Structure 1
Amino acid sequence: MRTYRFLLSGTWIGWFLVVCAAAALAVYLGGWQMDRNDHLVGENSAITENYHAEPLTGPEAVRQFADLDERLVWHPVRLTGQYRPEDQVLVRNRPQDGRVGYEVLVPFRTQDGALVVLDRGWVPTGSAADGMPDEVPAPPAGTVTVTARLQPGEPSVDRGAPEGQIASIELPLLAEQLDQPVGTEAYGEVFAEDPAPANAPAPAPEPETDSGPHLSYSLQWYAFALLFFVAYGWAARQQVRNEEWDRQYAAETERRLARFYDEHGTYVGEGDEELVLRELEMADDMPPHLKSIMRPKPQRRRNRPTWEDEEDALLDALERQER
């Protein structure tokens, strides 16, 4: 353990604290991403459960349009009553299947007298220069039973719209235009009508329930937290190796000096002493990454002698026998 005593120095303690702080931050971010993933998984489960649930009926279904329970978004409701096609409104700039079109909103009067807003579906823009749809299928006349999924109203947007159109499904604005009491907390996305019309707008697609990349991001952050400590350990190991190389380099230099100087310091080598000193000074001034070239490579431990060792041992034995 002496080899790693440098870890108790101020510099290395400081770096260890930095690693701990970075790892703590990575763990926090990993937990944050995991919480987001859990939240989306819960929301997706609720959407899937509501989307395929049995429809609400009667007063309970009508009440959701005026006082929506957020837990019932995407939940089907079944209403019986009559459409009011004279108050139909188009919601502009609605993309679907890679095309731009309109949502068709039609007020619906239920049998108990309540007025709610239903989205009958989507129609594409037409070929005319004004961008209006070529045709907007009319709702069924008379009494009809409608099955729709609950959706909260949309916020206001800073965009205008021509007469007969709106920029968003802003239910309070629709209530002002209708000048009648209407549910302003939710509207319904229609997916079934009885009797069914011969031609109807395209229903809204099933919502995507993808949880996104939050789980993978969370695992990446946890991996980063571990890698910070791995990098710290690797740096400490490199420090030990560098110190070992420095000791080997010093020993190699001492061996080189022994070739040129005796125990009294007298130069005994061949050639110019100044050239030898210059060579040693140049080696000593080398950057650390170049000094490794001068350092002796560590010998690998052999578990068994090589054939050269066996041959040398055999020759030694024969020589001893001859003596």
Structure 2
Amino acid sequence: MNDYRFLLSGKWLGFFLLACAAAVVSVYLGGWQMDRNDHLIGENTKITQNYRAEPLTGAGAAEQFTAHDERLTWHPVRLTGRYLPEDQVLVRNRPQDGRVGYEVLVPFRTQDGDVLVLDRGWIPTGEAANGMPDEVPAPPGGQVTVTARLQPGEPAVSRGAPEGQIASVQLEELRDRWDRPIGTAAYGEVFAEDPAPAVVPAPAPEPEIDSGPHLSYSLQWYAFAALFFVAYGYAARQQARNDAWDRQYAAEMERRLSRFYDEDGNYIGEGDEELVVRQMEMADDMPAHLKSLMRPQPRRRRSRPTWEDEEDAMLDALEHQGR
């Protein structure tokens, strides 16, 4: 374990904390994508189970507009009553079949007196430059039986709209606009009217069953969380190997340099010292902490004698005098 003692250094502790933080973020994003996948699975289940189910009728159908059970989204309901065309509004900026148009919303009063919001379908933008529709098909007059699929209301948006239009199917806004009590828990997308008028808006297209990329994205984020620690372990292993190699190399260089220099740094080799130094300096790609071993400094020539030299000279002179 001594080879991995460097893991307790500040730098490597910082790397570990960084890996932990990155893993936490990845796990959070993986969970977020998994939640979106679960939501999509739930929506697909509603479409599969409800889209072609037998319509709800009577009071049970009308109650869904005031207390909507989200599990019944896309479920058909059959209602009998009268349209209130004087309060008709258009929902702007609604794309369908590659074109931009409008959804036609009309309040509908049932035989029991409940007022509900029905979306009769989609109409395209007209040919005029003002962006308005050329014609809005009128709802059938008198008593009519409609079959529609339940949809929850939409959130409010900050965009405005011209007179007679709204930016989203925000049911509370419609209640205030019409100044009458209406069901604000859901609205209905009409796909059949009896009696059927000659011209009707285009019904909403059938929703697609789409699994989406959320599950794969979630698994990728979880894999990233694990890979951060794998990368940390791999980097630590490489550092330990490099440190062991450096120690081995330093020992080898020390053994090699001992052939040319003694412990005091004096050159003891047989060849030219300058040649040895140049050979050492050829290893310019070595790590910085090894270059001092590869490029030993040549011993300086002293122009003046040191006090040790002077002491030796005095001793030699006294020895000669005593003879």
TM class by smaller structure: 0.7 to 0.9
* Cα distance change, pair 109–10 in 1 and its aligned pair in 2 (3 A): closer
For the aligned residue pairs, the C-alpha RMSD in angstroms reads: 3.5
Sort the Cα spacing of 1:159 and 1:221 in 2 relative to 1 into closer, same or farther, 3 A: closer
Contact (CA 8 Å) 1:65, 1:185: kept in 2 or not? Answer: yes
User: CA shift at 1:61, angstroms?
Assistant: 0.8
1:267 aligns with 268
TM-score (norm 1): 0.73
**How far apart are the structure 1 equivalents of 2:207 and 2:252?**
73
Q: CA deviation at 1:222?
A: 1.9
Q: CA deviation at 1:177?
A: 5.1
- Counterpart residue number, 2:216: 216
How many angstroms does 1:121 deviate by? 0.3
Change (3 A) 1:169 1:24: closer
Give unpaired runs (5+ residues) of structure 2. Answer: 295-323
Distance 1:285 1:176, change over 3 A: closer
Indicate the SS of the match to 1:123.
Answer: strand
Number of equivalenced pairs? 291
| Structure 1 segments unaligned to the other structure (5+ residues) | 295-323
Q: How far 1:175 moved relative to its partner?
A: 4.1
2:270 partner amino acid: G
Matched, 1:198 2:217: no
Task: For 1:88 and 1:232, locate their aligned partners in 2 and report how far apart those are by CA, in whole Å.
Answer: 64
SS of the residue corresponding to residue 231 of structure 2 reads: helix
Is contact 2:3-2:244 (8 Å) kept? no
Q: Following the alignment from structure 1 to structure 2, what is the Cα–Cα distance between the partners of residues 163 and 194?
A: 30
Q: If the length of structure 2 is used for normalisation, what is the TM-score? A: 0.73
Q: 1:163 to 1:246 in 2, by over 3 A?
A: closer
Contact kept? 2:259, 2:268, Cα under 8 Å: no
Between the aligned partners of 2:224 and 2:142, the Cα distance in structure 1 is 65
> 1:58: how far off?
0.3
1:19/1:229 contact within 8 Å kept: yes
Q: Note the 1:1-323 alignment, pairs <5 A.
A: 3-7=3-7, 12=12, 15-176=15-176, 178=178, 180-254=180-254, 256-257=256-257, 260=260, 267-271=268-272, 273-277=273-277, 279-280=279-280, 283=283, 286-288=286-288
Counterpart of 1:110, as a letter, is T
Q: Distance in 1 between matches of 2:289 and 2:226?
A: 28
Aligned CA distance change for structure 1 residues 91 and 33 (closer, same or farther; 3 Å): closer
Deviates more, 1:144-153 or 1:242-251: 242-251
Q: C-alpha distance in 2, partners of 1:207/1:289?
A: 67
> d(CA) in 2 for partners of 1:197 and 1:129?
29
- For the 8 Å contact 1:259–1:269, the answer to whether it is kept is no
Shift in Å, 1:135? 2.3
Question: For the residues of structure 1 that align with 2:12 and 2:110, how far apart are their CA atoms?
Answer: 76
